[in-house]
A and B are shown apart, each in its own frame.
Chain A
Amino acid sequence: MSMSLASARCGALSSSAQPNSKGAPKDGAPALLAQHISKTFGGERALDDVTFSVAPGEVHGLLGQNGSGKSTLIKVLSGFHHPDPGGSLQIYGKDVGLPVSVGSFRSLGLAFVHQHLGLVPNLTVLENFVVGDLATQQSAFLNWPKMRRKARETFAQFDLDLDPETPVAKLPQVERALLAIVRAFEDIRAEHLAHGLPGILFLDEPTPFLPKEGVDKLFSLVRGIVREGASVIFVSHDVDEVMEITTRATVLRDGQFAGTLATEGATKDEFISMIIGHKVEPYQAVPQDYSTKAADISIEGLSGGALKQTSLGLHKGEVVGLTGLIGSGFDEIPYLLFGARQAASGQITIGDQATDVASAKPMDAIDQGLALLPADRLGAAGVGELTITDNMTLPVLDELRAWFGLDRAGMHNRANRLGGEYDVRPNTPVMKLASLSGGNQQKVLLAKWLQTKPVLLLLDEPTQGVDVGARQQVFGAIAQAAEQGSAVICASTDYEQLSQICDRVFIFARGQVVQELRGTDVTKDRIAEQTLLSLSLSGGYKPSDTTGAPA
């Protein structure tokens, strides 16, 4: 099936075809050629006869929704999973026996950077950088000055501003990712010098927790690495990023090979329809103009963290986006309002009831009708090892009582009903939250709060790590909540998302609002442009309706 799907234009390889010659070394062998890779878990095929190749010096994308088999494929290649018999793997034309024995990938010239990066926060940049050497070399004497010099040289080569003596815990997320990548590249380079293989670096979704600026830095590092001759396999579900950085991209769908596209010349629609198998109608809200109405909810003088004296007016049924560059403070607002982080000052007025934000705790916020969906899905929003039912019913336990205490059947039914309403797949309330895909976890956690009919719904990066299909459903759920009268605040650096769901977007710089976009200005490009300009906009903005008074 995988072969037949691939059209000639896609440049996909059949098992007998010669690999794409673009950028190939003299002997014409691809850097990596994986053929007929399958993997079955307990009767279910997670990978079904997947074949793909990567050319030397190429950035090759690996795309697919959650559950499409990307991670399983990577885990087979790293030796973590044993594939079903019948597959083969060649690295630079040389047959490598499957399964890959764990730990041997290093000697094959492969290196992996997973989303969790594998850094030890308490140790310094240098200690983390050389940990591979420490683990494999037997040496009675560690030459720290030499290692430090080598680290500095590598950092300088890639224009990285990393101090070897800083503990990793103090680095921003972006720099941690950069460190992990450059460390993996050092492993490859050592192997290259020893055995002459340029090497292949796997980046398994390194970007979902990075803001836009960070992604740019990361991409320039990746470009530097392929310039050295290595290949990079870039796993992601962000089509825009894949289109920006890759030469070609392979798409997996339902565990099968859906095709390989040459990035240049392919359109975003082509990618998306290949990923989900049919064209999605992107969700698009028609921005409503609320400027003539008095605000239902007003926030005044909110400060805390990077945020300074911010005032906003919101209306029932309105979705307001907040964005800005790193450190502009916009992403603090949901947490400050909810009392999840201590605000220095601020007041929120809902109807005619004013509350001091600085002294509010989450339970006070909930009493006022606020709900917060944090970005850290399994760290702050839900507990992965507890069931869907447990997670969903937590805020409404008081409603679910029977004569004997908690109504366990009622809890199950509630979770089952909400699961159906928000299209949680599979809708099995006894499953652990962690065993769902990211998108389905998010649906569960959104349902957890939306059942409380919040007056003000606070969101931080609601579709981070969520696949294309589930993303539209999350948007639909947010829109529905707004229709039913909730005001929604969404902090995000995903401009496309903001343009799709928001009625208004506020752009922040240096802790303050510098621009407000509304109506036809709420487009991805306008938001991106204004955000990039935001630092030069400071000070000029006069909020038109922070108090909600007619303009």
Chain B
Amino acid sequence: MNDQTTSAAPKKSSFNWARELERYALLIAWVLLILFFSQVAPASFLTWSTFSSIIFGSQAVLLILTLALIIPLTAGDFDLSVAAVLTFSAMLLAILNAQMGWPLWAAFLVCFGMGLTVGLVNAFFIIFFRIHSLIVTLGTASIIQGVILWVSGSQTLTGVSNTLIEWVIVKRFLQIPMAFYYAIILAAIIWYVFEHTSIGRRLLFVGRGREVARLSGISVTKVRAGALVSSAMLASLAGIINGGTTGGADPLSGLTFLLPAFAAAFLGATAIIPGRFNPVGSVIAVFFLVTGITGLNFLGVDTFVQNIFNGAALIVAVSASQLVRGRQEQGIT
């Protein structure tokens, strides 16, 4: 043995089965889930129309919201205000477009302007006053929710322009509504930014080691603010898509997206690039959750099962991922 060898060279294993399995476990679980329901649920489950309109087609809003969340999560900040921004955006759209007759583009501008403002306010309090993001965004979420109830008079509004509805759910490709493709395009853009731009690297370093990032010349303030503004703007987009899906806006239902979106974000972080929030994992996570819930609905289980399934899937998946890591005894020091 060579005396100069201070640390033994690692074995050149070409393929690490455990790691690859961990990366694709969620995808495999999704396929198994589909197979399972195709056996136990009525035959109508395993048809293209179920997949095109329900599993892929119905949850574009949840998917966009999940994608919005993983940006500040990667930078190390929570944004609990996204669901409120989504609801407010849909409400503004309904008020301006349906009630006041504004053209769609003008209403969109206001929606995105609102998202920008909320993002900046969040960033200001989180970064300038150094308050934890959970607290600030919990506060802004509550304020926005109050404003929504005020401006809507606690009423559900309808009558959003048909053009929007058409471009969101009526027009289809392969029978899947356009909203699905918007969400997938967004996921692809975020994937590109995360993996192939220096902004993505900076975001990652800011989230994992703020001091390291700062001392490497990264403007931590700008990156964090940018992430919070992005999540709020994307939540506004999710609100517009929601308005197009439902044809209007109601003051409360948007909030039900918050927990599933967080569940999907964390679930997605166990897949593809385990341990990192990543858009591909998020997409798989959303479809995994939606498939489970749809399948259970086909079996005639009540709608309350949604929450139970989301929560249980999250805990089981994260535990399983932890178990895989824990088993490999780490660190030879």
Question: Which A residues fall within an 8 A CB radius of B?
Answer: 41-44, 46, 65-67, 70-72, 81, 253-254, 276-278, 338, 340, 362-363, 365-367, 372, 374, 376, 379-383, 385-386, 390, 393-395, 397-398, 404-406, 408, 425-426, 428, 431, 435, 437, 439-440, 467, 469-470
Give min CB distance, B17 to chain A, whole Å. 13
Residue of A278, A367, A381 touching B215 (CB-CB under 8 A):
A381
Kindly identify which residue among B8, B197, B200, B217 contacts A395, using a CB–CB cutoff of 8 Å.
Answer: B217
Pairwise interchain contact B218-A46, C-beta atoms closer than 8 A: no
With A42-B328, A386-B208: A366-B4 Cβ-Cβ less than 8 Å: no
Interface residues on B, range: 35 or more
Task: List residues of B (315-333) whose CB comes within 8 Å of A's CBs.
Answer: 328-333
Q: Could you tell me the distance between the alpha carbons of A380 and B209 in the complex, rounded to whole angstroms?
A: 7
Q: Which residue of B lies closest to A377 (CB)?
A: B212
Closest chain-B Cβ to A165's Cβ sits at a distance in Å of 28
Is A65 within 8 A of B332, CB to CB? no
Which residues in B have their C-beta under 8 angstroms from that of A426? 7, 9-10
Q: Chain B nearest CB: distance from A451 CB in Å?
A: 13
Contact B205–A394 (Cβ < 8 Å): yes
Known pairs A71-B333, A362-B216. 8 more at Cβ < 8 A?
A: A42-B329, A81-B329, A254-B5, A278-B4, A363-B217, A363-B219, A406-B196, A425-B9
The residue of chain B having its C-beta at the shortest distance from the C-beta of A256 within the complex is B1
| A372: nearest chain-B partner, CB-CB | B215
Q: A376 to chain B: which residues have CB within 8 Å?
A: 211
- Could you list 10 examples of A-B contacts with CB < 8 Å? A44-B8, A66-B333, A71-B333, A72-B332, A380-B209, A381-B212, A381-B215, A386-B209, A406-B196, A425-B6
Which residue of chain A has its CB nearest to the CB of B211?
A380
| A362:B329 contact, CB within 8 angstroms | no
The proximity string for B residues 285-301 relative to A, scoring 1 for CB distances below 8 Å and 0 otherwise, is: 00000000000000000
Contact, CB under 8 Å: B198 / A406: yes
The answer on a CB contact under 8 Å between B6 and A66 is yes
Q: With contacts defined as CB atoms under 8 Å apart, how many contacts are there between chain A and chain B in the complex? A: 115
Complex CA–CA separation, A85 to B64 (angstroms): 54
Q: Which has the most chain B C-beta neighbours within 10 Å: A374, A390, A394?
A: A394
Q: Mark B41-59, 1 if CB is under 8 A from A, else 0.
A: 0000000000000000000
Query: Chain A interface secondary structure, helix, strand, loop or mixed?
Result: mixed
Interface contact B197-A437, CB-CB below 8 Å: no
Among B9, B196, B212, chain A packs the most CB atoms within 10 A around the CB of B212
B197 to chain A minimum Cβ distance, whole angstroms, is: 5
Given A425-B7, A437-B333, CB of A340 within 8 Å of CB of B204:
no
Quick one: given A254-B1, A426-B9, are A383 and B209 in contact (CB under 8 Å)? yes
For B1-42 the 0/1 string (1 means CB < 8 A from A) is: 101111111110000000000000000000000000000000
- Closest CB in chain A relative to B204 CB, distance in Å: 7
How far, in angstroms, from A437 to B332 measured CA to CA in the complex? Answer: 9
Most central of B201, B209, B332 by chain A CB within 10 Å: B332
* CB-CB nearest in chain A for B10: A426
Q: Which of A383, A395, A425 has the most CB of B within 10 A?
A: A383
Interface code B137-166, partner A: CB below 8 Å = 1, 0 otherwise?
Answer: 000000000000000000000000000000
Interface centre among A66, A406, A408, A467 (most CB of B within 10 A): A406
B192 touches A405 (CB 8 A): yes
Q: Is the CB of B214 within 8 A of A72?
A: no
Q: Which residue of A lies closest to B12 (CB)?
A: A428
CB distance from A370 to the nearest CB of B (A): 10
Chain B residues with CB below 8 A from A380, complex form: 209, 211-212, 215
Interface contact B201-A340, CB-CB below 8 Å:
no
A96–B3 CA distance with the chains assembled, in angstroms: 34
Q: Taking the complex as formed, is B275 at the interface, i.e. its CB lies under 8 A from any CB of chain A?
A: yes
A175 CA to B89 CA, complexed, in Å: 55
Are B275 and A385 within 8 A (Cβ)?
Answer: yes
- Closest partner residue, chain B, to A428 (CB atom): B10
The CA of A467 and the CA of B6, in the complex, are separated in Å by: 10
Cβ–Cβ contact B217 & A366, under 8 A: yes
Contacts A41-B332, A72-B333, A428-B10 given; indicate if A397 touches B201 (C-beta within 8 A). yes
In the complex, chain A residues whose CB is within 8 Å of the CB of B8? 44, 254
- Interchain nearest-CB distance for A88 vs B (Å): 22
Note all chain B residues with C-beta closer than 8 A to A363.
217-219
Q: Which residues of chain A are near B209, meaning CB under 8 Å?
A: 379-380, 382-383, 386
Write the chain B residue with the least CB distance to A44.
B8
B217 touches A386 (CB 8 A): no
| Shortest Cβ gap from A405 to chain B (Å) | 3
How far does the alpha carbon of A390 sit from the alpha carbon of B332 in the complex, in Å? 22
CA distance A367 to B9 in the complex (A): 38
Residues of A within 8 A of B192 (CB): 405
Measured CB to CB, the closest approach of chain A to B167, in angstroms, equals 30
A255 smallest CB distance to B (angstroms): 9
Q: Measured between alpha carbons, how far is A439 from B6 in the docked complex, in Å? A: 11
Residue of A nearest to B197 (CB): A405
Chain B residue nearest in CB terms to A373: B215
Neighbouring A residues of B219 by C-beta, 8 Å = 363
Whether A67 touches B6, Cβ cut-off 8 Å, given contacts A381-B212, A385-B208, is yes
Closest beta carbon of chain A to B98's beta carbon, Å:
41
B212 touches A277 (CB 8 A): no
Q: Measured between C-beta atoms, what is the minimum distance from B318 to chain A in Å?
A: 17
CA A353 – CA B14 in complex, angstroms?
52
CA distance A383 to B333 in the complex (A): 18
When the two chains form their complex, are residues A383 and B208 in contact, meaning their CB atoms are under 8 A apart?
yes
Q: Name the CB-closest residue of B to A467.
A: B6
CB-CB nearest in chain B for A82: B329
* Contact (Cβ within 8 A) A383 B198: no
Could you tell me if B208 and A362 are in contact, using CB atoms closer than 8 angstroms? no
B196 touching A382, Cβ below 8 Å:
no
Give A469's nearest chain B residue, CB to CB. B6
Instruction: For the complex formed, measure the closest distance between the CB of A65 and the CB atoms of chain B, giving whole angstroms.
Output: 6
Contact of B332 among A46, A393, A398, A431 (CB under 8 A): A46
- B208, A406: Cβ atoms closer than 8 Å: no
B196→A383 contact, CB < 8 A? no
| A362 pairs with B215, CB closer than 8 A | yes
Residues of A close to B4: CB separation below 8 A: 276-278, 469
Rounded to whole Å, the gap between the CB of B208 and the closest CB of chain A is 5
Q: Is there an interface contact between A437 and B7, defined as CB atoms closer than 8 Å?
A: yes
**Which residues of chain B in 183-236 are interfacial with respect to chain A, using CB atoms and an 8 Å cutoff?**
192, 195-198, 200-201, 204-205, 208-209, 211-212, 214-219
A371 shortest CB reach to chain B, Å: 10
Question: Is there contact, CB below 8 Å, between A278 and B332?
Answer: no
Cα A499 to Cα B254 with chains together (Å): 67
